[in-house]
Structure 1
Amino acid sequence: MTEGTDDDGGTNEPTAGGPSHVLVVEDDPDTRDLYADCLVDAYDVTAVATGEAAVAALDDSVDVVLLDRRMPDLHGDDVLELIRESGVDVRVAVVTGVDADLDLVGLSVDAYVEKPVGSGELRETVDRLVRVGRYDDRVRRYCAATQKLAALDDAPSVSDHDAAYRELVRRRETLERGIDDLRGALDAADYELLFRGIGGDGASDAAPPASDDLPV
């Protein structure tokens, strides 16, 4: 995700590296411009008209993809598959006029929004995916820092007075504060999105965990 530095402790505000990056994939020019105009005041927006252009524009700077499901070149489902195969850590919301059906079960999407969609709903969807993505990303980096410190604590050649060791401790503490800030910004729907994969079937029937049960 686009976080600027490992030490970013913000919530849903632009980071030191700039605002989050949204890729809008929509073949209708009026709809594409409408989505971009709705988001451009808070996010960096790249808007493209085809699935091929979407795949070409995808890189690690992209945080959220708004993906039309029906496009003239590549079908949105094919674009989604290519996005997941790319290995880019990105949240994807399908925004489409196609009614949801059971085929949705097999789609690796984070949100499914049916057209017509108002600017408020669109913005809320992106905001939520950004919040959840930042929390998820920061938890992974916090766990990585914790594991590194545990390994270094067992290394006889490493002193806790070493500059690199102290820097890692500081980074973990900063990440922990950032997790606390983000956790306070999450609501029940955010928790549901974060833990949707628990159980192994891509969705969870369990109630979202209380905030005290989340990583700190």
Structure 2
Amino acid sequence: MSGNDSAANVRTLVVDDEREVADAYALRLRGYCDVETVYSGETALSTVADTSVDIVLLDRHMPGMSGDDVLSELVERGYYGRVVMVTAVDPGIEVLEMPFDDYLCKPVDREDIRAVIDQQRRILAYETLGEYFSAEAKRAVLEAELDATEHRDHERFVAVAERADRLETRVRRLLPDDGVLDRFDGIDRGEM
């Protein structure tokens, strides 16, 4: 994929019931990030459930399931990503209670939509990096201090190790050229 190498692997979902609008935003992102477009809240939820989506660009005013409803459902389902409202609905005081990560008023130009994708990618990457460091530190210290048979068969250890692997994969995808993971791996956590 061409474009900004740091955003190229970001998986973005554009959700808007107006096909022309959704397709226009997707066109502005094509070649910049991995983008998919859906035209309803229900389809957005099933897409997020079926695939790994990093950033959702979500319209608020849609027939059937509104963007506000989708946002609430994403939170209830424990969606681990960023949500940006991209909408013609003027924000009111109610947005103080809404768990979105950014809010853009339509129309949004190419530079702004790409800038928000890059900004949200970085935020998600560093949040994920913190979680990875925590999980990986636990795995590394147990591997250094315990006999392999003591931790390899332990259900909680296996779960932490698998989680660390998933988080590392996502961080490397979101921060492809950042050497911070290599520096973390270089710390000796054994023999306390």
CA distance in structure 1 between the aligned counterparts of 2:14 and 2:179, rounded to whole angstroms: 25
1:54 corresponds to 2:44:
yes
Asked if 1 retains the 8 angstrom alpha-carbon contact of 2:54 and 2:81, the reply is: yes
CA distance in structure 2 between the aligned counterparts of 1:135 and 1:95, rounded to whole angstroms: 23
1:139 corresponds to 2:133:
no
Q: TM-score, normalised by structure 1?
A: 0.64
Q: 1:27 and 1:104, CA in 2 relative to 1: closer, same or farther beyond 3 A?
A: same
Match of 2:94 in 1: 103
Q: What letter is aligned with 2:47? A: A
Asked if 2 retains the 8 angstrom alpha-carbon contact of 1:12 and 1:131, the reply is: no
Match of 1:12 in 2: 6
From 172, 177, 181, give the equivalent of 2:178: 181
After superposition, the C-alpha distances for 1:158-183 in whole angstroms (9 at most, x for unaligned) are 5xxxxxxxxx9xx9xxx8xx699388
Asked if 2 retains the 8 angstrom alpha-carbon contact of 1:135 and 1:179, the reply is: no
**3-state SS, counterpart of residue 79 of structure 1:** helix
Aligned length in residues? 157
Q: What letter is aligned with 1:34? A: A
Q: What letter is aligned with 2:178? A: D
Match of 2:16 in 1: 26
CA distance in structure 1 between the aligned counterparts of 2:176 and 2:58, rounded to whole angstroms: 29
CA distance in structure 2 between the aligned counterparts of 1:182 and 1:119, rounded to whole angstroms: 30
1:65 corresponds to 2:77:
no
Extract unaligned runs of 5+ from structure 1: 1-10, 159-167, 184-215
Runs of 4+ in 1 over 6 A off after TM superposition: none
After superposition, the C-alpha distances for 1:59-116 in whole angstroms (9 at most, x for unaligned) are 3510000000000111111100111122231100001111121111111111011112
Match of 1:202 in 2: none
Q: What letter is aligned with 2:6? A: N
CA distance in structure 2 between the aligned counterparts of 1:96 and 1:145, rounded to whole angstroms: 39
After superposition, the C-alpha distances for 1:97-146 in whole angstroms (9 at most, x for unaligned) are 11121111111111011112111111111111111111211221122111
**3-state SS, counterpart of residue 95 of structure 1:** strand
CA distance in structure 2 between the aligned counterparts of 1:27 and 1:144, rounded to whole angstroms: 39
CA distance in structure 2 between the aligned counterparts of 1:61 and 1:143, rounded to whole angstroms: 22
Q: 1:180 and 1:21, CA in 2 relative to 1: closer, same or farther beyond 3 A?
A: closer
Asked if 1 retains the 8 angstrom alpha-carbon contact of 2:7 and 2:117, the reply is: no
From 109, 120, 128, give the equivalent of 1:129: 120
Match of 2:70 in 1: 79
Q: TM-score, normalised by structure 2?
A: 0.71
Asked if 2 retains the 8 angstrom alpha-carbon contact of 1:131 and 1:182, the reply is: no
1:113 corresponds to 2:104:
yes
CA distance in structure 2 between the aligned counterparts of 1:88 and 1:79, rounded to whole angstroms: 11
Q: Which has the higher helix share?
A: 2
Q: How do 1:191-202 residues align onto structure 2 when only pairs under 5 Å count?
A: none
Indicate the percent of aligned positions where both proteins have the same amino acid: 32
Asked if 1 retains the 8 angstrom alpha-carbon contact of 2:55 and 2:117, the reply is: yes
Pairwise CA RMSD: 3.0
CA distance in structure 1 between the aligned counterparts of 2:82 and 2:21, rounded to whole angstroms: 20
